Chain A
Amino acid sequence: DTAVSQTPKYLVTQMGNDKSIKCEQNLGHDTMYWYKQDSKKFLKIMFSYNNKELIINETVPNRFSPKSPDKAHLNLHINSLELGDSAVYFCASSQEGQNTEAFFGQGTRLTVV
């Protein structure tokens, strides 16, 4: 079973559209994350979320919003897509306070045209 799964794997959409990327983890972790990897392969945290708080990287535009219907899911909604949003988005999960690794999904390659 895949520990952290994201859908879709590829997403091509036009500027101005609204889209969502889904993420699910079956590890029972209490914290989930979204990371963005740009065209230069630079990886940056966008959000981290557990049942206590949402931590937002201040550089993330408010067009991006995470939605967590339950502990196992953290979906990423993006409104009014722009060309610069094209990137690979990685979901991850971990258990706060434990000496465990963060598990990453396989990534969603978003292309805005």
Chain B
Amino acid sequence: GEDVEQSLFLSVREGDSSVINCTYTDSSSTYLYWYKQEPGAGLQLLTYIFSNMDMKQDQRLTVLLNKKDKHLSLRIADTQTGDSAIYFCAESEQAGTALIFGKGTTLSVSS
């Protein structure tokens, strides 16, 4: 079945760049997403990328997609303490269908 893998923890210092990696197995994944979950809160969509794109940039966020290797990454530039959260990679085959989530990467930012 489909599977999405992420490393579970990442620690960075404030001001550094963070890179969170994700791999997926479903070659028919069409949409790939990054969600952020702060403690005790719901899920906030950060950004998404279509499988026909290699890169997407949105302010401090850069998403890179290597479709051949089924590898997705999220780079956060100038990481701030407010970026501390769990980051989930997710994929779906079609727009508006159920998401398959990775196990989440807990990002810890120290000042």
| Interface of A toward B, CB cutoff 8 Å | 29, 31, 33, 35, 40-45, 48, 55, 90, 92, 94-102, 104-107
Contacts and interface: CB of A to CB of B under 8 A. Distances in A.
B17 to A, nearest CB: 24
Given A42-B104, A97-B94, A107 B99 contact: no
B101 A44 contact: yes
B95 A99 contact: yes
Contacts of A106: 41-42
- The secondary-structure label for the interface of chain B is strand
Interface of B: 31, 33, 37, 41-45, 48, 50, 86, 88, 94-101, 103-104, 106
Which applies to chain A's interface (DSSP): helix, strand, loop or mixed? loop
Contacts of B43: 43, 90, 92, 104
B96 A31 contact: yes
A99 to B, nearest CB: 5
